Structure 1
């Protein structure tokens, strides 16, 4: 499976129901990547392995959240949701983190995004 196909399927599958709960109100079709970073990073990890990377999000110098992306096995970094941030938001640092192994607060969003991506990839493979 090619990265560009999985990336396209992820972007097509994003919705307010796949983003982190605290970002649901700020999610929009104009900014579909908003709140999708953790679920997107884990689904991409399902397909390509590598490491999950987590940085800190700052707004006007104040730490407000975390941002997730991927480091692939070849060392390249892929951040499919970086465009969600405005000019007042910045991501600082980036450390490899273990994939969550137990229940998380984003399980329902991950399951939904993963199933949508799988369906999208299945449809595109038949074309």
Structure 2
């Protein structure tokens, strides 16, 4: 069982990777989605638009690197996709299933964690709080 320590809690809490994944998937909503993806977000594809916020929350809980790759839609660059690379080199992408067959994600490169104000601060804050609430139960 993998354990996860959340450094912002006052006491050490241990969760399995399955616990973390369940908490994240249960916490997604239109209000945690990237604004440009809200028109395409629905309960049938709850991972849509969740990659940036999810990658940041996983980075909070698991550490490692943030990874970013280009997304091409019908052969044209459309956006970036974010996921995580853990300390042992394992890549963890809980939102890859959001993409349709005409959307391709290229190879990723580690990127520094954004600092200061970002366009997803509100969505990230909502997702982070929901995930921590699920994990504390």
TM-score bracket relative to the smaller structure? over 0.9
The residue aligned with 2:32 is 18
Structure 1 position 9 matched with structure 2 position 23: yes
Q: Secondary structure at the match of 1:17?
A: helix
The residue aligned with 1:103 is 117
Structure 1 position 116 matched with structure 2 position 135: no
Q: Secondary structure at the match of 2:20?
A: helix
Q: CA deviation at 1:4?
A: 1.1
Q: CA deviation at 1:93?
A: 1.7
Structure 1 position 67 matched with structure 2 position 81: yes
Q: CA RMSD in A?
A: 0.5
The Cα offsets for residues 53-109 of structure 1, whole Å up to 9 and x where unpaired, read as 000000111000000000000100000000000000000120000001110000000
Q: CA deviation at 1:15?
A: 0.1
Q: Secondary structure at the match of 1:68?
A: strand
Structure 1 position 46 matched with structure 2 position 73: no
Structure 1: tracts of 5 or more residues without a match = none
Hey, which bits of structure 1, 4+ residues long, moved more than 2 A?
none
The residue aligned with 2:11 is none
Structure 2: tracts of 5 or more residues without a match = 1-14
Q: How many residues align?
A: 123
Structure 1 length normalisation: TM-score? 0.95
Q: For the residues of structure 2 that align with 1:108 and 1:18, how far apart are their CA atoms?
A: 8
Structure 2 length normalisation: TM-score? 0.89
